[in-house]
Amino acid sequence: MSSLRESTLAPLLERDALEKVRLALALDASQPVDAAARLVEPAGIPGRPARPVLVTHKGLTHGSLRTVEGRAALIHSIAHIELNAVDLAVDVCWRFDGMPEQFYRDWVAIAKEEALHFTLLREHLVAMGFDYGSFDAHNALWEMAERTKHDILARIALVPRTLEARGLDASPAVKRKLVGAGDHRAGEILDLILRDEIGHVACGNRWYRYLCQQRGLDPVSTYAELAEKYEAPKLRAPFNLEARRLAGFDEAELTALQT
C-alpha cells in the first residue's frame, strides 16, 4: 500500500476476526499519509465473519451472570463492540480526506488499542470454553457509521463522543457485576479498556472541537442538532462524570448532557 490511509482498508475489508486484528496491529503509523487523496469506496465494508449472527439490540439476552454462559455472553458482547471499534477507527482514516496528518495517525493508534482489547477479551472467552461467534451480536455501532459516512463532523460527534463515550458510563457497573460474580480477570481487562477508552473519547473531543472551529460552529448546540438529525440514542443517567471530564468534556457539555 502506498499510504497509511490506503493501508487501513486491509483490516477494514478482512472478514476473519483474528486476521482483522492482526492486520490492525500491523499498521505502520509512520507511513506517508496522503491526506488529500480521495479514495474510492470498495465493496464489502466492513468485512464480517459468518458468526456472530447480527440481530437487533433488543434481541440480545445474556442470561444470569451466576452462570459461566451468562458471563461469557456479556463478555462476548463487549468483544463485539471492540471489534466494531477497530472497523470504526480505520474507516475514519480512509474515508475522510483533507484532515491534518495527525488525525489519521491518532485513529490508527486507536485501532491498534481496540484490536488489543478484542484480543484480551477473546482469549478470556476461550479460557471460559467459548469463542467469538459463540453468541449473537448487534450492529448498532456500524449503523451509526453508515448514517454519518458523508459528514466527518457528524461521525466524530456521534461515534466516539456518543456511542463510545457511553462505554465510559457503563464500564463501572459492568465491572462490578462481573467481579461480583467471581470473574476477576474480566474486571482487570475492563480496567485496561476504560483507561484506553478515555483517551479514545478525548481524541474524538479534540477533533470535534477542531472541526467546529474550522466551520465556525458552537460545539454544544451543534452536537444537539447532529444528535437529532442522525437519530442518536437518547443518553440517560448514570453518567461517569469523572471519566467524561478526563476525556475532555467541559462543564457546559456535561450540563447539557444531564438536562
Digitized pLDDT (tens) for each residue of the chain, 259 residues in all: 579 999 999 999 999 999 999 999 999 999 999 999 999 999 999 999 999 999 887 777 778 999 999 999 999 999 999 999 999 999 999 999 999 999 999 999 999 999 999 999 999 999 999 999 999 999 989 999 999 999 999 999 999 999 999 999 999 999 999 999 999 999 999 999 999 999 999 999 999 999 999 999 999 999 999 999 999 998 999 999 999 999 999 999 999 999 8
- Domain membership of residue 205 (yes or no) is yes
Which of these, 32, 42, 41, lies nearest to 5 by C-alpha position?
32
- Domain membership of residue 166 (yes or no) is yes
pLDDT tens figures, 214-249: 999 999 999 999 999 999 998 999 999 999 999 999
- Domain membership of residue 37 (yes or no) is no
- Domain membership of residue 50 (yes or no) is yes
- Domain membership of residue 130 (yes or no) is yes
Indicate the pTM of the whole model.
Answer: 0.96
Torsion of CA 115, 56, 95, 132, to 10 degrees: 20
Asked whether 15 and 52 are in contact (CB, 8 A), the reply is no
- The three cell numbers locating residue 237: 443517567
- Domain membership of residue 213 (yes or no) is yes
Domain count across the chain: 1
- Domain membership of residue 77 (yes or no) is yes
- Domain membership of residue 26 (yes or no) is yes
Q: Which amino acid, one-letter code, is at 14?
A: E
Asked whether 96 and 155 are in contact (CB, 8 A), the reply is yes
pLDDT tens figures, 98-119: 999 999 999 999 999 999 999 9
* Cβ neighbours, 10 Å, residue 199: 16
Mean pLDDT of all residues belonging to the chain: 96
Which of these, 114, 115, 96, lies nearest to 104 by C-alpha position?
96
Question: What phi and psi values does residue 134 have, to the nearest 5 degrees?
Answer: -70, -20
Q: Which amino acid, one-letter code, is at 244?
A: R
- One-character DSSP codes across the chain: --SHHHHTHHHHH--SHHHHHHHHHT--TTS---TT--PPPPSSPSP--S-SPEE-GGG-----TTSHHHHHHHHHHHHHHHHHHHHHHHHHHHH--SS-HHHHHHHHHHHHHHHHHHHHHHHHHHHTT--TTSS-EE-HHHHHHHHTTT-HHHHHHHIIIIIHHHHHHHHHHHHHHHHHTT-HHHHHHHHHHHHHHHHHHHHHHHHHHHHHHHHT--HHHHHHHHHHHTTPPPP-S---HHHHHHTT--HHHHHHHH-
Return the pLDDT at 1: 52
DSSP bridge pairs for 137: 54
Parent domain of 108: 4-32+42-258
